[in-house]
Structure 1
Amino acid sequence: MFLRSASVSRPAGPLPGGPYGGPRDAAVPGHTARGAVDRRPPEDEAAGLEAGRLQAGPLFRDETQQEPMPPNPAPQPAPQQEPGEPPQKKRAGRDLRAAIGVGVGLGAVVVAALFVVKAVFVGVIAAAVVVGLWELTSRLDEKKGIRAPIVPLAVGGAMMVVAGYVWGPQGAWLAMALTALAVLVWRMAQPPDGYLRDVTAGVFAVFYVPFLATFVALLLTAHDGPWRVLTFIILTVISDTGAYAVGWRFGSHKLAPRISPGKTREGLAGAIAFAMAAGALCMHFLVDGGLWWQGLLLGLGAAVSATLGDLGESMIKRDLGIKDMGTLLPGHGGIMDRLDSLLPTAPVVWLLMVVFVGSH
């Protein structure tokens, strides 16, 4: 019996009647009959699986179907350039020609006013203070809704510069106290909502712009005052130039990436080196009684204070969400964008000058 059963051979094809009345193995697409051998080449089998996969949709939920890419996409034509047109170059964020032109023009005005009549230069300082206060308070109002009273700030700021030139440091301190008091009283004429916020911003503006600018007027009061002011301006400009030149060429380590991503430690070293060299030359040739080693210390202090001043205004502008404080100076931004390094450097230079060569 067992031998007879073993002699019965099973057909190789699919059985005619499965459990549901149809071919048992042929019911599943892509499957071969039981017992049969799939003779297709591997590449044909892979192509078949891929075709079945594209028809059935993605295998996993996070898998997306993509459109088939053409085998040879047509190349896009390059933009045509007009005959005789110079090749296009990458442009910087600012108009370099306008920046240089405005910078040279401002320098000529400052130097002319500085060496013609001292009182004229005091007027230039007061005008820059008023415009800077207007830019600062306008941006605070636009971006934060802080309404620091501009009228007492502008009048008191101009008077602080004049008082510092006429009566010295005591006059500057007295004018600052009176200006802060005027801000407190002026804001009382408006509703009390936001009073503390507005007067705090006003007192900050009094210190940040006119009070620091008053030290430039104090430099001017000495018998060689124009040369001291010129030294102060040269040191600040040379510091910024050295930081830019060295940082652009060798900068790789960020100085304060969260505040100013463009500033590097190498740029700070360049600012210090350039400013110290300029300080030694200026103290030896421009300032009466100055020595070259005093100029080294003067340049060091100016470079550090100029860098901190630039970072400080960058912090303010980042908080306000703006790039520039104004648009008055093409290629530079606003007046405050030019005063950012000068304002904190003025008291440092004045103090070191007083220590080294006196105040008169």
Structure 2
Amino acid sequence: GAGYMSFNNIDQNNLPHILNQAVTMFRKALEVEAQDKVICCILEMFALWTQKFRNELPIVIMNIFKSGIGQKNSNQIIRQSYLEWFLLSVKNANMINHGSIVPDLISLYTKALQNSSQLCNMSEAACIACILLILEKPNESENFFWSTVFDMNKKYFFNEKFIATASIDTLCNLSLMSKILLSSYPEKIKGDLCPLIRALVYNLCSNSLKVRRLTILEIKQIINVSTGVEFVRLALSEFDKRINLISIQTDGDISTDQFGTPTQAYVDALQVLTSLTGIKHNEILEVAEDLLLISNHPAIVLNNPHLWENTIERYFQISPEDFIFTKKNISLINISIISNLWPNTKIPYQRLFVFLPV
């Protein structure tokens, strides 16, 4: 109940005082509680309040965190809960004098990677990585940490096995990590960007609404940086691979893929990936062409049959007819595909646009 009270409308003038009261109350609860499940629940509810902090984060938050992970009877479950709470607390605020906790975080991170075969350790490392990416800047004293997050060839976090088995919170952390790396350190990334982008596309198509919503927010920020067009084209390529692996299942008016993801989620994913503005004309044509065939997939047509036309008109200010006539090196063919080619859909037929060399 104390956690969900954070959803009430609070006057901004009163918010600092109420936040301080919430911190005091939850801190006392953590000091006297001994059961693991209850501590985890307290921290989850505590985060609903502390993630409201903006500007400078109170020093008491860091003290609570240090005390929590430093307890002798602390186990991996408790440690993970403290890390997730602390990440949410620092995500939207600034922390001054955080240097005293960095060595502890680096130590925990190193130990977790040394036992990377265990899922729980990698989940812990992913959360710590996000915290350090927020608090720190690349430096020689933490070279081991920075080399592990910048080197995509090592694939500590962005490998298919880990992503397929990761928890909802860890998937959210991977989206956050990808956003920070692609937005702030694209020039420092060693190796192919595809593992990062593939993870974001996977999360965009997750059967978890929480993961999808958070990933959409992260991608919107990535698109706003200078490499937005490059990212979008790579993401559309990965999205095309992903959507062509699914099979559509219908139950009344509801359609999902075999993983339980609503097909509408694929429409939402395409819409956020192509919400570009202020790009060059040649880039517009490239993205429009990338989008053309993907938007004619049954999962898209089932929910938004005019997505391609609407998208290029809204975001690119170009009509479908103008786009077609500007492509001098291609011819346009209409193909009516009978629904028995996709027996799991309810589409009677679909109009596909296929480009062939002239």
Q: Under a length normalisation based on structure 1, what TM-score does the superposition of the two structures give? A: 0.21
Q: Which structure has the highest strand share of the two?
A: 2
TM-score w.r.t. structure 2 length? 0.21
Q: Return the structure number with greater relative CO, CA threshold 8 A, min gap 6.
A: 1
